[in-house]
Amino acid sequence: MSDLLTTARYGDPEARLGVLTDTLRLQLARRSVRRFTGRDVTADELTALVAAAQSAPTSSNLQAWSVVAVRDPDRRARLAALAGNQAFIAQAPLFLVWIADLDRARRLARRAGTAVEAADYLESTVLTFVDAALAAQNAVLAAESLGLGSVFVGGVRNHPEEIAAELRLPPHTVAAFGLAVGTPDPDEPAGVKPRLPQAAVLHHEVYRADEADAHIPAYDARLAAYNERYGLAGGWSDRVLARLRGPESMAGRHRLREILERLGLPSH
């Protein structure tokens, strides 16, 4: 089983792991799910997902994130439109919007009659996004253990001000990303997408760019073969270059710094 899971994860029949646990099995088999059955996510399951999220590391125990659970079909439909017209957001029974949240600390400061000037600096903004991502990934793994599937949605950053209004977010917060959650539709044509070989990302002691990049052509071929199975074209390098080509490829997110400032996250 280890060989099959690892082969799928890397798209490489020679890939092996020398250790395997139940947690590793879940992680190796995880994939993005964009089609869901009609089964709802129960209140108990949601509580468990948030408990898992809150068990993630958090910088200085600031816990600088919040999450909005959206079940209302009309609100999910509006969020789907704002996040790039991604229909699976409206179809999923639960859409979790993870919030980079510095307002909780500011409310604390107001009650204490003190200042939190460090909240205005880039480090603090970065911290909130990191904390939210760590928490959300814990929730994803918990969802997998419950038989639920999910997919992250960066498209909520396409229109952050409109999403802030839709979710009635206070100042000093922003929607960092979304997470659609539900029971995977077994008929969805998707699989475990191969990742870069470890030799392309794992450096020992110091960073060796040429040695790492030598493994990219083989990965391009593996990912192109995977994409072809599901009606997609191209390998990894082409997609990276297209996604990072320029502001026009960012779906409005090139304006994020100015929008963060308007939302009360100046990030000096």
H-run or E-run covering 6: helix 2-10
Question: In 16-159, which residue ranges form alpha helices assigned H by DSSP?
Answer: 22-29, 43-54, 73-82, 87-91, 103-112, 122-145
pLDDT at 3: 84
pLDDT at 2: 58
pLDDT at 53: 98
Q: Are 82 and 167 in contact (CB under 8 A)?
A: no
Length of the chain in residues, anyone? 268
Q: What is the DSSP letter of 13?
A: T
The tokens describing 66, both together, are 């919040």
Question: In 113-215, which residue ranges form alpha helices assigned H by DSSP?
Answer: 122-145, 160-166, 198-201, 209-213
Name residues of the chain where pLDDT drops below 50: 1
In angstroms, the CA 89 to CA 196 distance is 28
pTM for this prediction: 0.96
Domain ranges of the chain: 32-188+252-262
What is the 3-state composition of the chain as percent helix, strand, coil, each rounded to the nearest 5?
50, 10, 35
Query: Per CATH, which fold does 32-188+252-262 belong to?
Result: NADH Oxidase (3.40.109)
Residue with tokens 């996004």: 129
